[in-house]
Structure 1
Amino acid sequence: MRATACHISATSLLAIALALPTAAVAQDSEEPGDRIIVTGEREQALTQESPTGSRLGLSILETPATVSVVDGDDIRARGDIAIVDAVSRAPGVTNAGNPGNAGLTFAVRGFSGQGSVLQLYDGVRLFPNNGSISFPSDPWNVERIEVLSGPSSVLFGQGALGGVVNVIPKGPNSERYESDAEAGYGSQDTWHVAGGAGGPLGDMFAFRADVSYRESDGFVDRGESDNLAISGALEFKPSEDFSLTLRNDFGNANPTKYFGTPLIDGELDTSIREENYNVGDATMRYRDNRTALKLDWQVSDTVSIANTAYYITSNRKWRNLETYADAGEGLIYRADNYGIIHDVDQYGSQGHAALASTFGGGVSNDLLIGYDVNYFELNYSHQFASEYQEDLVPVTGFDPGLFLDTVGLIPRYHTDTMTWAIYAEDRLAITEQLSLAAGIRHEENKVGRWNWVYDDSGTTIVGDTPALNGGADAYKKLSSTTWRVGAVYQPVETISLYAQYATAVDPLGTLTTFSGSASQFQLTYADGYQYEAGVKGLFMDGRGSFTLAAYRLVKQNLFSQTVPGGAIEQVGQRSSQGIEASLDLALPAGFGFSANGTVLDANFDEFDGFEDNTPAGVPEAAANLELRWNGGDRFSARANLRYVGRRFTDNANAFRVPAYTVVDLGASYAVTDNFAVDLRLYNLFDEDYAFSTYGNEQWILGRPRSVDVTLRASF
């Protein structure tokens, strides 16, 4: 949203909070205070530069890949509470989160999990440990979210076969001061407060600060949750060509200790949708902090340099009874007392230098050479010497009991992961219509693992340091070289036809917790490749935009772990092929329309006993639809529909989760030039649906019909 207002008014408030699809003309009024003058203008995403699609400063139209943008103002206007809700508005992205992966996991193009869909924060890769990333925790400070679909290892390294999700936070604004705030309350005693401010501090400095707090009782028994997110950034910019930005982001989340609802006789029993079968003293906490220093320097008209150095700490704690099943005769079987602590330190640096050149005949070339160095340290603790906890409780009216832990959460192992990479990107613009792009990356990873040694009691550590686990097998050196090539043809300035071929690699399991059990396999990376072709463009003088892409994505030499912690199986090959499309259109009379969707065929090509089956957790159809209306005065409204097709919870396709459709409504009224009231109705038809699962017959249910009211202010 680019504001051109001469003053901050409720017009700006509506343009920001409601993300209107078009620039509205000023409204005539006899008195200045009678009407809202809409002076905001929404920039088309296709014309924006995308650092996720390319580091060469290319717009999405110029990039030979599918890049989608979810605008931060749209996120807040819809009332999306979590990052995963916002990201799954993008074409072809669905929610695959559950408590075991911190609820922040996606499925893209037939592949799911944090080992195949890489997550970035402000362009820096986040490393999952034990398949769990919990940062960032709140969308309040998000400027936008970019999704690069398909193999992306060339830019970001291993673990990016299915795609990349890049959350880009709000940054300092050196041109004008701005501030906004909101407070809301709704169903399930859900409430939140948030505020942010930013602007110049003299001639050379600018800042941005945001804070958000959310709390809810949840829709299940003992479903309380809370979340605190704080962000701050300070920019030093002595000239237009040089900037240095220091930022810090902190998140402390205590999510709902709800691991799902067990099926009764293989079916969802809606009478128990509010039951929580976890123990009464369950614990789940995620605490993350990220500090980064970012440099951007335009050395000359043809040379630029950028670098980001960062340090991330993360602490996660679980103490839950996690597995539930129908035992018949009105009883539920509960088991798996699982307690763990992750203590993580991650730091590194990534940077690049770019050179722009022009040759005779109008040919131009942009070349970028970069590096990426990361170090990751994990200390892992759990109650592995405890007694196994299992019991039977009534379907309703039971005492939840307490977590059984006889020895406490004690250290189990320690890992060190060191990665470094060099990469290059190049774009050759042969004519104004035709360009070629290519990239290559070589990456080296070294993982070491040490186990703590205990005496016969299993509770006392022997020695001061952990012992190397399994001799030489505890060290693994993994290397890979990935590449991509593509072409873009623009018959006119607003239309792009493109094609690309890209390769990528995924690690076996989680790189940072590499297990000795994997050493039996010759291959430790699953490699893949993708063919993609598409068209994207603008029409109706920029009031409409569209994208259309077709692809085939193949993953070879991959592994499967059917049961968490169980045996690892080597799978020959799986693939997906599909179509993704999106449309955004500004209509007359203040109406706007957005739609996106995907249809794909995902299957195992080579996997004994499972050939032609659909991989677990992958929906083969998904869609989002939004209708917007701006009444031209102080009132506006929107409706959102989300559809996710059926999925299977197992590779044998014996357990199916049905498709679901959820409809949300929202309306906003600007009381004054600086204050507005929002009313949001979630899950209009009170759909009982599972957005994810935890095991074959344990469904993670979505929020029932709920109403929220929010007061917003902008100055």
Structure 2
Amino acid sequence: MAQTPGQAAVQVFEVKVPAQPVATALNELSRQTGVQVFAAGDVVAGVGSQPVSGRLTVAQALETMLAGTALRATRTENGGYAVRRAADVPASSSSTLPTVTVLAEGEAETASGPLKGYVAKRNAVGTKTDTPIIETPQSISVVTSDFIEATGALRLKDALAYTPGINVSPWGADSRFDWTIIRGFDAQTPGYYLDGLQLRNNNGWAVWQTENYGTERIEVLRGPSSVLYGQTGPGGMINVVSKRPTEEPLRELQVQLGDNSRRQVAGDFSGPLDEQGKVLYRITGLVRDAKLDASGLPNDRTYIAPSLTWKPSSDTSLTLLSHYLRIRDGSSYGSFPEVGTLLPNPNGKFSPKTYVGEPGFDHFNQDQWMVGYMLDHRVNDTWTLRQNVRYGSIKVDYRQVYNASNFVTVNPDVPSDPANFRTLSRFPFGSKESARLFTIDNQAQAKFKLGDWQHTFLFGVDYQRSRNYQRTYNAGTVSNIDGYNPVYTNDVVPLDPWFDAKTSLEQTGFYLQDQIKWGNWVATLGGRYDTATARLNNYLDGSTTRITDHKFTSRAGLVYLHPSGWAPYISYSESFSPTVTIDPETSKPLKPETGRQYEAGVRYQPLDGKSKYSAAIFDLRRQNYITYNSTYQPKQTGEILVRGLELEAAFQPVKNMNVIAAYTYTPKAVVTASSTASEIGKQMQAVSRNQLSVWTDYRFDSGIKVGLGARFMGSNHGYQESAAAKVPSYTLIDALVGYDFQRWSLALNVRNLTNKTYISNCSSGSCRYGELRKVVATATYRF
């Protein structure tokens, strides 16, 4: 708060903290006010607090809470408070707390606002309420914008490379999408989330995308989450939080130069539009001109995201969010035969810089725009109403020449002739798609107390409607090509499409959730009922298919908040995803696929607020998934079991140094039931047993900053264990060198520092290389 010298400004909060251990009471006070309160565990151990209730300043609340104890609270330089024994309070501090200036709510951490550093303590993805992560009974990771910037993450998947449980390169180098695998399951389908609303895709190539420069943070909720979000996959969900208008003026210009002719200009501007600060604006945007590594085809992007916040009162806030994204890309997605990548080839290994498509044919063009709002109204001390709405449009024109996994035999008389292992047959692929998506989420939240139990009750109704048109072909003629010395012919002739249809989907969900706190315990209970209707209009045969599904899902979790900062938890959660597949025996749609997970874990969050640690074990099953028998008839007899351990840590071993570490151990990720007997006991996705990542950076007082990261992915047997040999493990190194001075920030980021050539996955005779080295220099000026 702004104030004149000698004049104190006071922020009053509605505080309700029952009598309980002091450590737990201080955590609750911080949660309700957004003001950090620090205390050593041995200082507050075994000490009880007095109840606090009413409209109070933080100072008044602390004085009441600590009355009758030997503890006193004093103001710290960062605007928080430190609780010490009375004998340890500096002589200059009065035992009676003076009137002080405390942090305004907008300056404290929220689940969606700006955050300094790498350690987030609050989230909304796990409960749809602004809740401390330590109180959420399910695995959650938050990637902050500071970490995205430090690691030089250019795409969403790059930003998640140091997050446990996620494979960010399941299908090799791919400039089209941010494809990821969470806990052994595809996270891209049915879609990522933006500001809590789903970006649903139709299992096609019109996949909604986000921009890292317009991202405030990325939230990852691992495990099923249908109770709050409806149709989702069993592995988890990824929610991107957009940058929003700020109360403090923000002006930033940025220039990037990099390899592959990368040139990018970006800007971020925000602040109040009126003297009272009731109307805030933000405009974030960029323009990029670049080339793809192997083909030299375009890798261009234009992005602009205007937003506006109106706060007519302290109880009401309306934020308008919008963006436009234009992508003109040549597509880096491709593969080579196993012989020459995973297995020896008499001609040597294929180079990952070899392009075997057709430059005059290949392109991936996407245009998308979205507009929506987030309305938040505090009715009284108990009730808060929220409504999130978004409408979007996307168009994709994608075509590419792929090579088959087999070689063209040019000398049948001598099978071992090296000439038989270099010429690749190819085929054209193309898809034109357009989609519209409307989503709305209405929420009513009530905070109240019954006896010693505090409740945060959430009731919601969400609805989404999507229309997707898709016309896709994957056949035609095109000349063969030499994989070691390619010559491009541009003689592509596509055949008629195999898919030409419009898909419509409507879903309505009703959900309830109660977060209950008593003493040191926090319980989360939830349930949801969904109705979904899908309609497929097939323009090839004129048929129409209509499918309606109903599903109830549930969730339960329990957390124990120990005064020392430890928080063990257990939880159960479910997911579901409808299918459009028809049962040939009944001529009726098959049941929705389902997921269910048991998880147990522990978090440790020291009171210094600069570090956090977590560990989780889980048993996750995908059930009712569709398999095909020997006569290719669909049967809903499939089940996939994934069990694993995830460890995550973020801490500062010394001043100015950050360490982020993650380890994933997945000893089991197998098909346990299938109508195809040969699938049982094998993996579906390519899941490595071990995965490890560590990032550390240090900032010198002179302004120089350095960082180094390592990402290890263990070996596996490829998709559906179809690789002819074990896919080797690999380790990638990332690095940062930078300098901050005055209003400037300079950084040189290198991902895959050693330019390591590695195979990310193999399937059905083909293998895909991962990303090669990327070098980007960034200059940012803030004024």
TM-score, L = length of structure 1: 0.85
Shift of 1:133: 5.6
The structure with the largest alpha-carbon Rg is 2
Confirm whether residue 634 of structure 1 aligns to residue 703 of structure 2.
yes
Shift of 1:351: 1.2
Choose which of 163, 185, 208 in structure 2 pairs with 1:90. Answer: 163
Tell me how far apart the structure 1 counterparts of residues 494 and 659 of structure 2 sit (CA, whole Å): 57
Tell me how far apart the structure 2 counterparts of residues 106 and 183 of structure 1 sit (CA, whole Å): 28
Shift of 1:226: 1.1
Corresponding position of 2:98: none
Choose which of 47, 60, 69 in structure 1 pairs with 2:121. Answer: 47
CA contact (8 A) 2:286 2:302 kept: yes
Give CA-to-partner distance per residue, 1:672-709, whole Å, 9 cap, x none: 4011321222212221123456x534434233334322
Corresponding position of 2:663: 597
Give CA-to-partner distance per residue, 1:252-275, whole Å, 9 cap, x none: 112342332303525355552211
Which one-letter code corresponds to 1:675 in the other structure?
A: W
Shift of 1:67: 0.8
Confirm whether residue 145 of structure 1 aligns to residue 191 of structure 2.
no
Confirm whether residue 331 of structure 1 aligns to residue 422 of structure 2.
yes
Shift of 1:662: 0.6
Task: List aligned pairs for 1:30-429, cutoff 5 A.
Answer: 42=116, 45=119, 47-48=121-122, 50-95=123-168, 96=170, 102-115=176-189, 118-132=191-205, 134-173=207-246, 175-202=247-274, 203=276, 204-263=278-337, 265=339, 267-268=341-342, 270-280=349-359, 281-327=361-407, 329=419, 330-360=421-451, 362-383=452-473, 388-402=476-490, 404-405=492-493, 412-429=500-517
Confirm whether residue 475 of structure 1 aligns to residue 534 of structure 2.
no
Tell me how far apart the structure 2 counterparts of residues 400 and 155 of structure 1 sit (CA, whole Å): 51
SS of equivalent residue, structure 1 residue 647: coil
Corresponding position of 1:20: none
Range with greater deviation from structure 2 (540-549 or 629-638): 540-549
Shift of 1:434: 0.7
Give CA-to-partner distance per residue, 1:550-591, whole Å, 9 cap, x none: 11001111124899xx97564431111111111111122532
CA contact (8 A) 1:261 1:273 kept: no
Shift of 1:346: 0.8
Tell me how far apart the structure 2 counterparts of residues 294 and 227 of structure 1 sit (CA, whole Å): 27
CA contact (8 A) 2:713 2:729 kept: yes
Residues 1:659 and 1:136: Cα distance change in structure 2 (over 3 Å):
same
Tell me how far apart the structure 2 counterparts of residues 443 and 252 of structure 1 sit (CA, whole Å): 34
Q: How many residues align?
A: 651
Tell me how far apart the structure 2 counterparts of residues 609 and 452 of structure 1 sit (CA, whole Å): 36
Confirm whether residue 646 of structure 1 aligns to residue 751 of structure 2.
no
Tell me how far apart the structure 2 counterparts of residues 410 and 579 of structure 1 sit (CA, whole Å): 42
Residues 1:81 and 1:697: Cα distance change in structure 2 (over 3 Å):
farther
Shift of 1:63: 0.6
SS of equivalent residue, structure 1 residue 76: helix
CA contact (8 A) 2:144 2:216 kept: yes
Shift of 1:247: 1.3
Tell me how far apart the structure 2 counterparts of residues 108 and 401 of structure 1 sit (CA, whole Å): 40
Shift of 1:101: 10
Confirm whether residue 581 of structure 1 aligns to residue 581 of structure 2.
no
Give CA-to-partner distance per residue, 1:58-93, whole Å, 9 cap, x none: 210111111100001210221111111112322211
CA contact (8 A) 1:662 1:687 kept: yes
Corresponding position of 2:728: 658
Corresponding position of 1:14: none
Shift of 1:640: 1.2
Confirm whether residue 525 of structure 1 aligns to residue 592 of structure 2.
yes
Residues 1:88 and 1:97: Cα distance change in structure 2 (over 3 Å):
farther
Give CA-to-partner distance per residue, 1:588-619, whole Å, 9 cap, x none: 25322110111112111123112221222333
Corresponding position of 2:563: 492
Tell me how far apart the structure 2 counterparts of residues 289 and 75 of structure 1 sit (CA, whole Å): 24
SS of equivalent residue, structure 2 residue 719: coil
Task: List aligned pairs for 1:499-518, cutoff 5 A.
Answer: 499-508=570-579, 514=580
CA contact (8 A) 1:616 1:653 kept: no
Task: List aligned pairs for 1:599-638, cutoff 5 A.
Answer: 599-600=665-666, 601-607=668-674, 608-638=677-707
Residues 1:359 and 1:517: Cα distance change in structure 2 (over 3 Å):
closer
Residues 1:568 and 1:713: Cα distance change in structure 2 (over 3 Å):
farther
Q: Mind listing any 5+ residue stretches in structure 1 that lack a counterpart?
A: 7-22, 26-39, 455-466, 509-513
Residues 1:287 and 1:620: Cα distance change in structure 2 (over 3 Å):
farther
Which one-letter code corresponds to 2:753 in the other structure?
A: L
Tell me how far apart the structure 1 counterparts of residues 290 and 629 of structure 2 sit (CA, whole Å): 34
Which one-letter code corresponds to 1:78 in the other structure?
A: T
Tell me how far apart the structure 1 counterparts of residues 590 and 440 of structure 2 sit (CA, whole Å): 29
Confirm whether residue 446 of structure 1 aligns to residue 515 of structure 2.
no
Range with greater deviation from structure 2 (655-664 or 597-606): 655-664
Give CA-to-partner distance per residue, 1:165-186, whole Å, 9 cap, x none: 000011001x210122221212
SS of equivalent residue, structure 1 residue 168: strand
CA contact (8 A) 1:46 1:61 kept: no
SS of equivalent residue, structure 2 residue 134: coil
Shift of 1:494: 2.5
Which one-letter code corresponds to 1:499 in the other structure?
A: I
Structure showing greater relative contact order (alpha-carbon pairs closer than 8 Å, 6 or more residues apart): 1
Shift of 1:660: 1.6
Tell me how far apart the structure 2 counterparts of residues 294 and 133 of structure 1 sit (CA, whole Å): 25
Tell me how far apart the structure 2 counterparts of residues 321 and 224 of structure 1 sit (CA, whole Å): 16
Q: Mind listing any 5+ residue stretches in structure 2 that lack a counterpart?
A: 6-75, 79-113, 343-347, 410-418
Task: Let me know the Cα RMSD of the aligned residues.
Answer: 3.0
Residues 1:197 and 1:697: Cα distance change in structure 2 (over 3 Å):
farther
